Amino acid sequence: MTSLANQTVLVTGANRGMGREYVAQLLDRGVAKVYAAARDPRSIDVADPRVAPLQLDVTDAASVARASEAASDVSVLINNAGIARGTSVLHSDTSQLREEMETNLFGPLALASAFADRIAERSGAIVNVASVLAWIPIGASYGVTKAALWSATDSMRLELGSRGVQVVGVYVGLVDTDMGAFADSPKSDPADVVRQVLDGIESGADEVLADEMTLVVRAQLNKPIRERVA
């Protein structure tokens, strides 16, 4: 894809944080329409006629099906919605891990499945927002879900690349949003992360590594195990 201008984009989790920033920057890049998806579409407060609030619960198959019917003209899908519970992977109660998996893995897969054919018809793009925690063993259950999304993104790219669909994996550390409020560590500006992602779509990138820590971790990942920093 060479330009986002005149594209029709669906953004999940569009009512706050990075989702809201995606909507704003997509409008600046001249998209034809943004479906701003959230569980409660009344929480979408962008006053632009190109923004179409869309009710969507990514964990609910019926909701995904309704959204697929309502947004039949989508050419770019940005799977941005995510949750973090941070529970131990050894916890006997797996309900929180399962909740994270439903939102962070199965939700993006359900959306990609629902929209893949029409995106392929338009030679469009699918963006999956993962995390640097896909590659390092912290973040407990959240890291597990993002590691799964990393693998699924690569598999999706293998399946859809021959059909002309660009599949972009996004990897970043802490971002200055509500989800990152628990930590006092330095955080990336959501506007900067989103800019890099949209640049990546327009440049044909497979991955966006959106901060210095992610670049370092990814470089280590490419080394033989014996050469990696312990």
The pLDDT tens digits for 8-66 are: 999 999 999 999 999 999 999 999 999 999 999 999 988 899 999 999 999 999 999 99
The pLDDT tens digits for 99-141 are: 999 999 999 999 999 999 999 999 999 999 999 999 998 869 9
SS3 category, 173: coil
Please check the confidence at residue 86 and state whether its pLDDT lies above 60. Answer: yes
SS3 category, 207: strand
pLDDT category at 175 given cuts 50, 70, 90 is confident
% of the chain surpassing 90 pLDDT: 83
- Of residues 175 and 14, more confidently modeled: 14
Please check the confidence at residue 228 and state whether its pLDDT lies above 60. Answer: no
Determine the Cα–Cα distance for residues 124 and 32; give it in Å rounded to an integer.
Answer: 14
Q: Which residues, in sequence order, are CB contacts of 132 under 8 Å at separation 6+?
A: 171, 172, 173, 211, 213, 214, 217
CATH class of the domain whose range is 8-227: alpha beta
Q: Which residues, in sequence order, are CB contacts of 211 under 8 Å at separation 6+?
A: 132, 172, 173, 188, 193
In the block, tokens 């590691």 appear at 147
pLDDT at 184: 67
Please check the confidence at residue 179 and state whether its pLDDT lies above 70. Answer: no
Q: Give the pTM.
A: 0.92
Q: Which residues, in sequence order, are CB contacts of 133 under 8 Å at separation 6+?
A: 139, 142, 143, 146, 147
- Of residues 149 and 179, more confidently modeled: 149
